[in-house]
Structure 1
Amino acid sequence: MTQISVERKHSLGREAARAKAQTLVDKLTREYDLKASWNGDQVDVSRSGAKGSVLIGEDSIRVELKLGMMLSMMSGTIKGEIERALDKALA
């Protein structure tokens, strides 16, 4: 399994960051066919071969994703897409 971890600091506060995270989650679910479910300030995401979460904090958003063997070959591309989408959502 390949582990992807991306964290970005923000000064939006938890509620505004949660709204921005929803934009990120919508993009990831659409592009990678992920299922998402909110649990407080955490969004759990999964699909065949991938499982992870988006954790919204008062001053940061962290994306943790574990990829199975087939998707691990695309880990660089997936991590880059997460970083770009997170940077765009927090801009």
Structure 2
Amino acid sequence: MAGIDIHHPHSMPIAKAREAVEDVARKLADRFDFEYGWEGDDMHFKRAGVDGNIAVTPEQLHVTAKLGFLLSALQGTVEQEIRKVLDEKFS
């Protein structure tokens, strides 16, 4: 099973960072039909072929995801898209 592990620094207050992550998750959930929920400052998301987590800390976001067989072939593309969204929202 392929995986994604991204550390992305940010300088937002943690509440603002959570709001930005929530905004992105809401849009992506509508587009890609996945479920997500918060547990403290960790957002868990899941859909067929993807199981992941975004940990929001005062200094960084830590995105991890396990990709199923079909999406593992697209790991580079998926990781690039995640980095692009993080750069847009948190840079």
Q: Specify the code of the residue in structure 1 equivalent to 2:66.
A: K
Structure 2 unaligned residues grouped into runs of 5+: none
Check if 1:19 corresponds to 2:3: no
Structure 1 unaligned residues grouped into runs of 5+: none
Query: CA 1:75 to 1:53, structure 2 compared with 1: closer, same or farther past 3 Å?
Result: same
User: Aligned residue for 1:34?
Assistant: 34
User: Aligned residue for 2:63?
Assistant: 63
- TM normalised by structure 2 equals 0.91
* Superposed CA offset, 1:31-67 (max 9, x none): 3322111111011000111101011001101110100
How far, CA to CA, are the matches of 1:86 and 1:24 in structure 2?
9
Once the 2 structures are TM-superposed, how far is the Cα of residue 26 of structure 1 from its aligned partner?
2.2
User: Aligned residue for 1:72?
Assistant: 72
Identity level (%): 30
Q: Is the 8 A contact 1:14 1:58 kept in 2?
A: yes
Secondary structure of the structure 2 residue equivalent to 1:84: helix
Q: Is the 8 A contact 1:5 1:62 kept in 2?
A: yes
More displaced stretch, 16-25 vs 76-85: 16-25
Q: Which runs of 4+ in 1 moved over 3 A?
A: none
Aligned length: 91
How far, CA to CA, are the matches of 2:28 and 2:65 in structure 1?
12
